[in-house]
């Protein structure tokens, strides 16, 4: 989830905790109305995210794992204001800064990085893909996992990402497609890790593909903490609710309680520890 001091912030976490939530991934949220123009401004923005994580831990006593990185849509906007060369150089500086935080233990993953999720010019698209190869190469050298923000073009997106990972030397099981469709079969994901957006209708797809998956995956809301877009993503209470629904559906499909318990431990503990570490 994302948090924003000017919006719900701690109230959103309280809602999550009240319905049984015990841990969050706090993902850095760019301020699209005032994007960084140099690395010092990125440093300030990252530190604010880290400080918010400390405040959440202090108030609620839950586990907070931080994910830091320069958003690909921020880069696309910066290309228009700074020019391609300067925007790309700044993007990579921001990646390196996030990787420094990873090496010092401040965050557990690089992200969100990736490419724009909406139609852009061929020049922007090609540059975004080449930039992503470099970003993943740097992440692979450090050994961090990476959370990807990408478009939704079904399995074709996964195939392209797998090819990019191959060029970059990035392990597929450490490359996490965020806000992913609920098909977790390896045939669909091409072996990448993912976090599934658990909106309405996800349970049936998860139940039908869960035994066909060989890669770690998780559940997410992508909560934006933005009152201007209340229906854009899912609310803080969604993960506990969908967890209960998935348990019931798996039991009804014929799985034993021990099998369902093992699946839940993987989704909510084992796999997060594996891919965000």
| pLDDT tens digits, one per residue of 55-107 | 999 999 999 999 999 999 999 999 999 999 999 999 999 999 999 999 999 99
Radius of gyration of the chain (CA): 18
Is 148 strand, coil or helix?
A: strand
Mean pLDDT over 26-31 rounds to: 96
Using CA atoms, how far apart are residues 213 and 190, in angstroms rounded to an integer?
Answer: 10
Nearest Cα residue to 93 out of 155, 144, 36: 36
Q: What is the reported pLDDT for 231?
A: 66
Q: What is the reported pLDDT for 233?
A: 85
| pLDDT tens digits, one per residue of 205-259 | 999 999 999 999 999 999 999 988 876 789 999 999 999 999 999 999 999 999 9
| pLDDT tens digits, one per residue of 220-229 | 999 999 988 8
- The full set of domain ranges for the chain reads 10-275
Q: What is the reported pLDDT for 7?
A: 94
| pLDDT tens digits, one per residue of 59-71 | 999 999 999 999 9
Answer yes or no: is pLDDT of 131 > 70.
yes
Mean pLDDT of the chain: 96
| pLDDT tens digits, one per residue of 174-211 | 999 999 999 999 999 999 999 999 999 999 999 999 99
Q: What is the reported pLDDT for 66?
A: 98
In the chain, % of residues over pLDDT 90: 96
Question: Which superfamily does 10-275 belong to?
Answer: Metal-dependent hydrolases (3.20.20.140)
Using CA atoms, how far apart are residues 184 and 205, in angstroms rounded to an integer?
Answer: 8
> What order of strands is seen across the sheet that includes strand 23-27?
23-27, 63-68, 109-114, 146-149, 175-180, 193-197, 217-220
Using CA atoms, how far apart are residues 49 and 13, in angstroms rounded to an integer?
Answer: 14
Q: For residue 92, how far is the Cα from the chain centroid?
A: 19
Nearest Cα residue to 46 out of 92, 98, 91, 90: 98
CB-CB contact of 70 with 49 (8 Å): no
Using CA atoms, how far apart are residues 188 and 182, in angstroms rounded to an integer?
Answer: 10
Q: For residue 129, how far is the Cα from the chain centroid?
A: 18
């Amino acid at each position: 989830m994302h948090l924003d001091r000017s919006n719900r912030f701690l109230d959103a976490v309280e809602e999550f905790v009240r319905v049984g939530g015990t841990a969050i991934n706090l993902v850095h949220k760019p301020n699209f109305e005032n994007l960084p123009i140099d690395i010092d401004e990125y440093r300030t923005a990252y530190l604010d995210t880290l400080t918010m994580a400390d405040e959440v831990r202090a108030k609620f006593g839950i586990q907070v794992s931080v994910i830091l990185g320069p958003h690909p849509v921020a880069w696309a906007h910066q290309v228009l204001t700074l020019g391609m060369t300067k925007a790309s150089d700044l993007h990579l500086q921001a990646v390196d800064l996030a990787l420094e935080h990873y090496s010092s233990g401040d965050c557990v993953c690089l992200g969100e990085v990736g490419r724009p999720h909406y139609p852009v010019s061929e020049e922007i698209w090609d540059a975004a893909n080449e930039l992503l190869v470099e970003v993943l190469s740097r992440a692979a050298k450090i050994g961090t996992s990476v959370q990807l923000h990408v478009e939704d073009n079904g399995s074709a997106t996964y195939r392209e990402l797998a090819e990019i990972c191959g060029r970059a030397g990035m392990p597929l099981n450490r490359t996490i497609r965020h806000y992913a469709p609920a098909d977790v079969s390896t045939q669909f994901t091409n072996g990448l890790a993912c976090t599934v957006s658990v909106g309405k209708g996800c349970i049936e797809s998860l139940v039908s593909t869960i035994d066909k998956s060989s890669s770690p995956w998780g559940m997410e809301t992508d909560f934006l903490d933005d009152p201007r877009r209340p229906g854009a993503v899912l609310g803080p209470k969604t993960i506990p609710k969908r967890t209960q629904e998935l348990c019931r559906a798996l039991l009804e499909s014929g799985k034993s309680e021990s099998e369902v318990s093992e699946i839940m431990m993987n989704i909510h503990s084992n796999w997060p520890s594996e891919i965000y570490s």
